[in-house]
Amino acid sequence: MNGQRPIVAAARRTPIGRIGGAFATTPIHELLSPVLTALLEDLGITGADVDDVIVGNAGGSGGNPARYAALTAGLGIEVPATTVDRQCGSGLEAVNLAARLVASGAGDIILAGGAESASTAPWRVERPAVPHGTPRFYARPHFVPAEYGDPDMGVAGENVARRGGISRERQDRFALASHRKAVEAARSGRYDAELVPVRVRVGRAAAVAVAADECPRPDTSMEKLARLGPAFVEGGTVTAGNSCPVNDGAAMVAVVSERKFRELGLSGGLRVVDSTVTGVDPVILGWGPVPAVRRLLKRNPGLELADVEVVEFTEAFAGQVLACLDELGIPEESVNRGGGALALGHPWGASGAVLVTRMFSDMFGTADPVAGRARYGLATLGAAGGLGIATLFERHPAD
Number of structural domains (the chain) is 1
> What is residue 399's predicted lDDT score, i.e. its pLDDT?
58
- Catalytic one among 88, 215, 244, 324? 88
Structural domain contains residue 220: no
Q: Along the 399 residues of the chain, how does pLDDT read in single tens digits?
A: 568 999 999 999 999 999 999 999 999 999 999 999 999 999 999 999 999 999 999 998 889 999 999 999 999 999 999 999 999 999 999 999 999 999 999 999 999 999 999 999 999 999 998 988 999 998 888 999 999 989 999 999 999 999 999 999 999 999 999 999 999 999 999 999 999 999 998 777 778 999 999 999 999 999 999 999 999 999 999 999 999 999 999 999 999 999 999 999 998 999 999 999 999 999 999 999 999 999 999 999 999 999 999 999 999 999 999 999 999 999 998 999 999 999 999 999 999 999 999 999 999 987 788 999 999 999 999 999 999 999 999 999 865
Kindly report the number of other CB atoms within 10 A of residue 95's CB atom. Answer: 33
**3-state SS track over the chain:** CHHHCEEEEEEEECCCEECCCCCCCCCHHHHHHHHHHHHHHHHCCCHHHCCEEEEECCCCCCCCHHHHHHHHCCCCCCCCEEEECECECHHHHHHHHHHHHHHCCCCCEEEEEEEEECCCCCCEEECCCCCCCCCEEECCCCCCCHHHCCCCHHHHHHHHHHHHCCCHHHHHHHHHHHHHHHHHHHHHCCCCCCECCEEECCCCCCCEEECCCCCCCCCCCHHHHHCCCECCCCCCCCECCCECCEEEEEEEEEEEEHHHHHHCCCCCEEEEEEEEEEECCHHHHHHCHHHHHHHHHHHCCCCCHHHEEEEEECCCEHHHHHHHHHHHCCCHHHECCCCCHHHHCECHHHHHHHHHHHHHHHHHHCCCCCHHHCCEEEEEEEECCCEEEEEEEEEECCC
Would the pTM count as exceeding 0.75? yes
**Which residue in 29, 179, 324, 346 is the catalytic one?**
346
Residue 317, in any domain of the structure: yes
Cα separation of 111 and 102, whole Å?
11
- Establish whether 346 is a catalytic residue: yes
Range of the domain at 96: 2-122+244-396
Domain membership of residue 129 (yes or no) is no
Residue 206 within a domain: no
Tally of CB atoms within 10 A around 49: 17
Residue 275 lies in a domain: yes
396 given a catalytic annotation: no
In CATH, what number is assigned to the domain containing residue 352? 3.40.47.10
Residue 338 forms part of a structural domain: yes
Residue 19 lies in a domain: yes
**Confidence at residue 398, expressed as pLDDT on a 0 to 100 scale:** 65
- Asked if residue 107 belongs to a domain, the reply is yes
